Amino acid sequence: MKLNQTGNRSISLTAALRQLCLAVAAIALVACSTSKEGTKDAFADDEPPGTLYNEGLAYLNAGKLSDAVKSFDEVDRQHPYSEWARKALIMSAFASYRRGRYDDTIETAKRYLSLYPGSPDAAYAQFLIGSSYFKQIPDVTRDQQSTRRAMASLQEIIDRYPDSEYAADAQQKLVVARDQLAGKEMQIGRYYLERREYLAAINRFRVVATDYQDTRHIEEALERLTEAHMALGLAGEAQTAAAVLGHNFPDSPWYQDAYELLRSGGLEPRENKGSWISKLFVGSKTG
């Protein structure tokens, strides 16, 4: 079609253009609702990594932990494998830990270790993993999988980074985690003892005596072994358990209970060196 000399388009051309504009507007509306492709945002320059990183620090200091994580993650997204990305990744893990998002912390810290295993912050990343599992340790009545994961992660700090500033803290947490597992065994053992399932109870208390002698539960475990063996008529094992308890913890109230229990049956604590109980404590005060 042609323009006339006055510059006016024909009615048919105007109508066609109107339909075309409506169609283009409809397509643009759909595109904007699903994608930024072709928009100004799609062609925006990446922000400098230092700007994003400092923004994350500012959010962190202001207590805006969610925004801090987003800023640190944006450094990694826009500038992957850079030194800024490395620093931002460990800060993202730290901010997630501060938020109490322990699964996110573990995931981010593990990614950090996979990308930068020899970096100066590798020990801290491992510490964040172990501490996150530690924070999720449940009470003794529940499954202790998180406790075992915490122990494995904390032990890795001690083994791989023994000279790091996190090793001592990891060791303290490890003591608590071991005590928790011992407590779980005691909880199950007491359950069996109350049900008069003495062999099952002995097996649980034996785990404590074998694997967790350095926990606070060992005194009760030896007393419970005395009790369970007495119930089965195994006087020699009962006497040995009480004797080992008395030799190692003479002032323990648990020893007083074991002693009175034996006396009620006309027995005295007496150690049988051939007993499995005695053999477990070779090198201790009983040796």
Burial class (CB in 10 A: 0-12, 13-18, 19+), 211: middle
pLDDT per position as a tens digit, 148-205: 999 999 999 999 999 999 999 999 999 999 999 999 999 999 999 999 999 999 999 9
pLDDT per position as a tens digit, 237-273: 999 999 999 999 999 999 999 999 999 999 999 999 9
Burial call 88-125: b when 16+ CB within 10 Å, e when fewer = bbbbbbbbbbeeebbebbbebbeebbeebeebebbbbb
Of the candidates 215, 158, 223, 156, the one whose C-alpha atom is nearest the C-alpha of residue 181 is 215
Percent of all residues in the chain with a pLDDT value above 70, rounded to a whole number: 83
Instruction: Please check whether residue 142 lies inside any domain of the structure.
Output: no
Instruction: Please check whether residue 71 lies inside any domain of the structure.
Output: no
In this structure, the dihedral spanned by the alpha carbons of residues 198, 199, 203 and 209, taken in order and rounded to 10 degrees, is: 60
Instruction: Please check whether residue 37 lies inside any domain of the structure.
Output: no
- Least-confidence region, from 40-49, 126-135, 208-217: 40-49
Q: Distance (Å, rounded) from C-alpha 21 to C-alpha 180?
A: 71
What tokens were used for 65? 């932990």
pLDDT the model gives residue 282: 75
Of the candidates 236, 185, 227, the one whose C-alpha atom is nearest the C-alpha of residue 206 is 185
Residue 29 has pLDDT above 80, yes or no: no
238 or 39, which is more confident: 238
Instruction: Please check whether residue 276 lies inside any domain of the structure.
Output: yes
How many structural domains is the chain composed of?
1
What tokens were used for 247? 């030799």
What tokens were used for 282? 């070779």
Instruction: Please check whether residue 236 lies inside any domain of the structure.
Output: yes
Domain that includes residue 239, residue range: 196-280
Task: Give me the amino acid identity at 44.
Answer: A
Element (H, E) at 149: helix 145-160
Other C-beta atoms within 10 Å of 192: how many?
19
pLDDT the model gives residue 50: 93
Q: Distance (Å, rounded) from C-alpha 242 to C-alpha 226?
A: 6
Instruction: Please check whether residue 237 lies inside any domain of the structure.
Output: yes
Contact 103, 123 (CB under 8 A): no
Residue 24 has pLDDT above 50, yes or no: no
pLDDT per position as a tens digit, 59-79: 999 999 999 999 999 999 999
Contact 259, 246 (CB under 8 A): yes
Q: Distance (Å, rounded) from C-alpha 22 to C-alpha 132?
A: 56
Of the pLDDT bands very low, low, confident and very high (cuts 50, 70, 90), residue 46 is: confident
Output the average pLDDT for the chain.
87
Which residues, including other chains, have CB under 8 Å from residue 67's CB and lie 6 or more apart?
59
Q: Across the chain, which distance is largest between two alpha carbons, in Å?
A: 129
Instruction: Please check whether residue 185 lies inside any domain of the structure.
Output: no
Q: Distance (Å, rounded) from C-alpha 270 to C-alpha 223?
A: 14
pLDDT the model gives residue 43: 36
Residue 25 has pLDDT above 70, yes or no: no
Q: Distance (Å, rounded) from C-alpha 234 to C-alpha 182?
A: 25
Q: Distance (Å, rounded) from C-alpha 114 to C-alpha 92?
A: 15
What tokens were used for 85? 């990305």
Instruction: Please check whether residue 72 lies inside any domain of the structure.
Output: no
Of the pLDDT bands very low, low, confident and very high (cuts 50, 70, 90), residue 47 is: confident
